[in-house]
Amino acid sequence: MTSLARTATIPLLAVLGACTNDAPPAAATVAAPEALRAHNAEFERGVTKVADGVFVAIGFGIANTILLEGDDGVIIVDTMETAESAQAVFAEFRKLTDKPVKALIYTHSHPDHIGGARVFAEGNDAIAVYAHRDVIRNMEKTSIELQTAITRRSMRMYGSLLPEDERINVGLGPFVDVREGSTISVLRPTHPFDDRLEATVAGIRFELVHAPGETDDQIFVWLPDRRILLPGDNVYKAFPNLYTIRGTSYRDPRRWADSIDAMRALKAEILVPSHTQPIVGAQRIDEVLTSYRDGIRYVYDQTLRYINQGLTPDEIAARIKLPPHLASAPYLQEFYGKPTWSARGVFAGNLGWYDGNPSTLQPLAPRDEAERMARLAGGLDALAERVIEAQAAGDQQWALQLSDHVLRLQPDHAGVRKARIKALRALGEREANPNARNWYLMAARELSGEFELPDRILTPTPAMLAQMPLARFFDGMAVNLDAEAAVDTTMAVGFEFTDVEERYTYIVRRGASEVVPELREDADIVVRVSAQAFKEMLARLRHPAVSLVRDFEVTKGSRLGFAQFMRLFQPQEA
């Protein structure tokens, strides 16, 4: 470890699994643009001393963890994605100091910043944890309501199942350290705040400032006595993900740029981001922050200009380009986000899904469109030939788009599947953006039959489940209700919990859900169960069928009726 010269695995509730079959694997490749390989220098594994008492661990996973050493203890800022990655980082930190950890700070709610908290707490679950007030709500939403979708999309974006020589990096780090057997150890914030919080821990005076950007719950950490700024994920060495292809709520670029302006005003002398390398020097930091906010505002402002000219998202994406001085800026290279994706996100965030073209107002269903495309081409065989010809001619994107139609009508068409795999691999190999590259290459391997993506990755601990509110588990049930199976069902089930003073009635009304936070007298069925057993069953820590028999007491109605009710909440693939 030296100073700035270095020496030296979201959606979260079950174990990573991958199903394989006998299909031959796609050929391995190490082809990649040189710029992407050069970007690996940002993630050289080790601990960097940024200043006296300020250290940052880089390259142990996708995110950084920052150590602030005080008089009689230390503060940890961001805690990695898993307990295992946190343990690797903490072992390195313990080579620097044996002072106790007095506080944790989450810069935001993304899993790679909160997943290893208990490791750094060293068994002290009462440790002070500072974060924005919305962190709790946002981390619960991701881990319960959108778990399956975000899990699979994240695995594609980060290339989680790609061979190591094929996944060059993930843009903001070398890899996401989530794998089979990984565990998470999140602690809930004890010191939530809204706009600003000032505190002193271990003799370190710090200010926490709400700074919406990559997330609405983002904060930055300011050490005023030393002019050191920790910007979280609002600044990193790549064009920002104003929209991320794994999926996200709208990220308002105006607020993001405003947050950077607030950081610019501080005139920091050291900047330590939660991804990529630190920056030293007030002038250099000002140059980076200024170009970063200008890049964000340029894409936002010009997208709205094009919207007002009547252009559709596709037309805007085809036109939006950074001016030369920003396109060449080191911190705006497209190693994470892209202006084209960002423009589409800005359109949707301001106007919603409808692009203004009447032909897209009520479009044909995808299969109906595919049938008409086949007829237009002279039949399915002719359309398939066009796919194969386009791919062979190097027109990979057109081959990919045409193959959508063929495979909707004949999913097992061998020639088109082979052409689509080749097109995906060709697009991935020439792509310098890791998110796009990994998605193409993962999709190719999925189509070749090498694996199927799991619906969940990590296993929570019972202690983590105990901290989560019961209401969120009912939210999880609601998004798993099989509406088609329940279309003729009207039923109210009451839940009495034996270990907490909470009661709920879950009503299924012909495919719709209503949850009432009380025990209704007109409930058709009433069950008694401990909240912990209920949570562990829904989180799959207990076998559902066994849990229904052992853990639930039916005090009204029949056990068979309750089992039939619970079967309505089995998620099914579309």
Cα separation, 188 vs 135, in Å, equals 9
- Examine residue 213 and state whether it is found in any structural domain, yes or no: no
Cα separation, 411 vs 543, in Å, equals 34
Tokens of 392: 């062979």
- Examine residue 50 and state whether it is found in any structural domain, yes or no: no
Identify the three-state secondary structure at position 207: strand
Tokens of 148: 């399956």
Question: Residue 17 has what pLDDT?
Answer: 29
**pLDDT tens figures, 140-175:** 776 677 888 888 999 999 999 999 889 999 999 999
Find tokens 């203004």 and name the residue. 356
**pLDDT tens figures, 293-318:** 999 999 999 999 999 999 999 999 99
- Examine residue 401 and state whether it is found in any structural domain, yes or no: no
Burial of 34 from C-beta contacts in 10 A (0-12 / 13-18 / 19+) = exposed
Whole-number Cα distances in Å, 554 to 248, 457, 561: 40, 33, 10
List of residues 6+ apart from 40 with CB closer than 8 A: 168, 169, 174
Answer positive or negative: Cα dihedral of 344, 349, 351, 353. Answer: positive
Cα separation, 513 vs 479, in Å, equals 9
Cα separation, 236 vs 273, in Å, equals 6
Question: Quick check: 459 and 183 in contact, CB under 8 A?
Answer: yes
Query: Residue 564 maps to which CATH number?
Result: 3.30.1050.10
pLDDT tens for the chain, 574 residues long, are 433 333 222 233 332 223 333 333 344 456 889 999 999 999 999 999 999 999 999 999 999 999 999 999 999 999 999 999 999 999 999 999 999 999 999 999 999 999 999 999 998 989 999 999 999 888 777 667 788 888 899 999 999 999 988 999 999 999 999 887 788 889 999 999 999 999 999 999 999 999 999 999 999 999 999 999 999 999 999 999 999 999 989 999 999 999 999 999 999 999 999 999 999 999 999 999 999 999 999 999 999 999 999 999 999 999 999 999 999 999 999 999 999 999 999 999 999 999 999 999 999 999 999 999 999 999 999 999 999 999 999 999 999 999 999 999 999 999 999 999 999 999 999 999 999 999 999 999 999 999 999 887 777 788 888 988 999 999 999 999 999 999 999 999 999 999 999 999 999 999 999 999 999 999 999 999 999 999 999 988 999 999 999 999 999 999 999 999 999 997 554 4
- Examine residue 501 and state whether it is found in any structural domain, yes or no: yes
**pLDDT tens figures, 226-240:** 999 999 999 999 999
- Examine residue 41 and state whether it is found in any structural domain, yes or no: no
> Which DSSP helix (H) or strand (E) runs through 447?
helix 434-447
Cα separation, 90 vs 71, in Å, equals 19
Is the pTM higher than 0.75? The answer reads yes
Cα separation, 397 vs 488, in Å, equals 45
Question: Residue 571 has what pLDDT?
Answer: 56
- Examine residue 531 and state whether it is found in any structural domain, yes or no: yes
- Output the DSSP codes for 464-528: HHHHS-HHHHHHHHHTT--TTTTTT-EEEEEEEESSSS-EEEEEEETTEEEEESS--TT-SEEEE
Identify the three-state secondary structure at position 306: helix
Burial of 462 from C-beta contacts in 10 A (0-12 / 13-18 / 19+) = exposed
Burial of 445 from C-beta contacts in 10 A (0-12 / 13-18 / 19+) = buried
- Output the DSSP codes for 369-418: HHHHHHHHHTSHHHHHHHHHHHHHTT-HHHHHHHHHHHHHH-TT-HHHHH
What values do phi and psi take at 423, rounded to 5?
Answer: -65, -45
Question: Quick check: 79 and 117 in contact, CB under 8 A?
Answer: yes
List of residues 6+ apart from 253 with CB closer than 8 A: 242, 296, 297, 299, 300, 342, 346
Domain that holds residue 564: 469-569
Burial 194-226 (b: 16+ CB within 10 A, else e): eeebebebbebebebbbbbbbbbbbbbbbbeeb
What values do phi and psi take at 435, rounded to 5?
Answer: -60, -50
Length of the chain: 574
Number of folded domains that form the chain: 1
- Examine residue 423 and state whether it is found in any structural domain, yes or no: no
Share of the chain above pLDDT 70, in %: 94
Question: Residue 142 has what pLDDT?
Answer: 67
Question: Residue 101 has what pLDDT?
Answer: 98
Question: Quick check: 208 and 223 in contact, CB under 8 A?
Answer: no
- Examine residue 547 and state whether it is found in any structural domain, yes or no: yes
Cα separation, 383 vs 502, in Å, equals 59
